[in-house]
Structure 1
Amino acid sequence: MEEIVKKWEEILSYLKNEYAITDVSYDSWIKPLELFQIEDNKLYLTYGGEQSTMTLGYVTRKYATPLKVTIAEITGIQFDEILVISQENAKQINREKNVVSINMEETSSFEANKKMGNSSINPKFTFDNFVVGRNNRFAQTAALAVAESPGEFYNPLYIYGGPGLGKTHLMQAIGNYIGKQNPNTHILYVTSEEFTNEVIENMRTNNNASAMQRFRDKYRTVDVLMVDDIQFIIGKEATQEEFFHTFNALHAMGKQIVISSDKPPKDMETLDDRFKSRFDMGLMADIGYPDYETRMAILSKKIEEKDFNLDESIRKYIAENIQSNIREIEGALNKLIAFSRLEKIDITMEIAERELQNFISPNISREITPQLIIEVVSEHFNLTVDQMASKNRSSNVARPRQIAMYLCNTMTDSSLQAIGLLLGGRDHSTIIHGANKIGEEIEKDESTRNLVETIKKKINPN
Structure 2
Amino acid sequence: MADIWGRVLQVMESELRKPSFDTWLKSTRPVELFDNTLVVAVQNTFAQQWIESRYMPLILSALREAAGRPLDVRFVTPDAHQEVAAAAYRPDTVQPLAADPPPRDPAAPPSGADGPSPSGKDGRPPLYLNPKYTFESFVVGDSNRLAHAAALAVAESPARAYNPLFIYGGVGLGKTHLMQAIGHYVARYSPDLVVLYVSSETFTNELINAIRDDKTIEFKRRYRNIDVLLIDDIQFLAGKERTQEEFFHTFEALHGANRQIVISSDRPPKDIPTLEERLRSRFEWGLLADIQPPDLETR
State the TM-score, normalizing by the size of structure 2. Answer: 0.80
Unmatched 5+ residue regions in structure 1? 101-111, 296-462
Which of 70, 77, 80 is the matching residue for 1:89? Answer: 80
The alignment partner of 1:184 has SS state of coil
Q: Secondary structure at the match of 2:244?
A: helix
- The corresponding residue for 1:28 is 23
Partner in structure 1 of residue 10 of structure 2: 13
What residue in structure 2 maps to residue 286 of structure 1? 290
- Aligned residue for 1:130? 138
Larger Rg: 1
Kindly provide the amino acid, as one letter, of the partner of residue 136 in structure 2.
D
Unpaired segments of 5 or more residues in structure 2? 92-113, 119-124
Residue in 1 aligned with 2:47?
Answer: 55
Q: For 2:274 and 2:185, how far apart are their aligned partners in 1? A: 34
Residues 1:215 and 1:43: Cα distance change in structure 2 (over 3 Å): farther
**Structure 1, residues 238-283: CA drift from partner, whole Å, max 9, x if none?**
2112211111221222221110001101112321221121111111
Say if 2:106 is the partner of 1:114: no
Contact 2:166 2:264 in 1 (8 A): yes
| Corresponding position of 1:46 | 41
Match of 1:224 in 2: 228
Shift of 1:14: 2.6
Task: Give the secondary structure class of the aligned counterpart of 1:266.
Answer: helix
The CA deviation at 1:38 is 5.7
Contact 1:64–1:83 (Cα < 8 Å) also in 2: no
Letter in 2 for 1:88: D
For 2:195 and 2:59, how far apart are their aligned partners in 1?
30
* Cα-to-partner distance string for 1:189-243 (whole Å, 9 max, x where unaligned): 00001001111111111xx3xx222212211121110000001112222211221
Quickly say closer, same or farther: Cα 1:121–1:75, change in 2 above 3 A. Answer: same
When residues 292 and 33 of structure 1 are mapped into structure 2, their CA distance, relative to the original with a 3 A threshold, is closer
- Given residue 167 of structure 1, which amino acid in structure 2 is its aligned partner? K
Query: In structure 1, what residue type is equivalent to 2:75?
Result: V
How far apart are the structure 2 equivalents of 1:38 and 1:221? 50
Aligned with residue 57 of structure 2, among 46, 65, 68: 65
Structure of greater relative contact order (alpha carbons < 8 Å, 6+ residues apart): 2
Do the aligned residues in 1 keep the contact of 2:269 with 2:280 (CA within 8 Å)? Answer: yes
d(CA) in 1 for partners of 2:127, 2:211: 21
Asked if structure 1 preserves the Cα contact closer than 8 Å seen for 2:76 and 2:84, the reply is no
Q: Deviations over 1:71-102 (max 9, x none)?
A: 356667556x64321012113444687689xx
Q: Aligned partners of 2:36, 2:246: CA distance in 1, in Å?
A: 52
Q: Is the CA contact 2:117–2:184 (under 8 Å) kept in the aligned structure 1?
A: no
Q: Deviations over 1:439-459 (max 9, x none)?
A: xxxxxxxxxxxxxxxxxxxxx
Superposed counterparts of 1:248-263, under 5 Å:
248-263=252-267
Cα separation, 2, equivalents of 1:38 and 1:150: 36
Aligned mates of 2:172, 2:12 — CA distance in 1 = 37
- 1:169 positional shift: 0.9
In 2, the alpha carbon distance for the partners of 1:169 and 1:130 equals: 7
Matches within 5 A, 1:201-350: 201-205=209-213, 208=214, 211-295=215-299
**Aligned residue in 1 for 2:157:** 149
Alpha-carbon RMSD across the aligned residues, in angstroms, is 2.6
What secondary structure, in the 3-state scheme, does the structure 2 residue paired with 1:217 have? helix
Deviation at 1:167, TM superposition (A): 0.8
CA shift, 1:39, in A, is: 6.5
What residue is the counterpart of 1:194 in the other structure? 202
Deviation, 1:40, is 7.5
Deviations 1:302-344 (A, max 9, x none): xxxxxxxxxxxxxxxxxxxxxxxxxxxxxxxxxxxxxxxxxxx
How far apart are residue 128 of structure 1 and its match?
1.7
Does residue 1:184 correspond to 2:192, yes or no? Answer: yes
Amino acid at match of 1:115: S
Matched with 2:98 is: none
Post-superposition CA distance 1:139-160 (Å, at most 9, x none): 1122122222221111111111
Q: Is the 8 A contact 1:199 1:238 kept in 2?
A: no
Q: In structure 2, the residue corresponding to 1:218 is in which secondary structure?
A: helix
Change (3 A) 1:32 1:291: closer
Contact between 2:147 and 2:291, CA under 8 Å: does it hold in 1? yes
1:31 alignment partner, SS class: coil
Q: 1:66 to 1:246 in 2, by over 3 A?
A: farther
Contact 1:144–1:174 (CA<8 Å) still a contact in 2? Answer: yes
1:188–1:222: 8 Å Cα contact kept in structure 2? yes
Distance verdict in 2 for CA 1:252–1:82, change over 3 Å: farther
Q: Deviations over 1:318-374 (max 9, x none)?
A: xxxxxxxxxxxxxxxxxxxxxxxxxxxxxxxxxxxxxxxxxxxxxxxxxxxxxxxxx
Alpha-carbon distance in 1 for matches of 2:132, 2:192: 20
Aligned counterparts of 2:60 and 2:156: Cα–Cα separation in 1: 20
SS in 2 for 1:293: coil
Change (3 A) 1:6 1:292: closer
Distance 1:113 1:225 in 2: 18
- With normalisation by structure 1, the TM-score equals 0.54
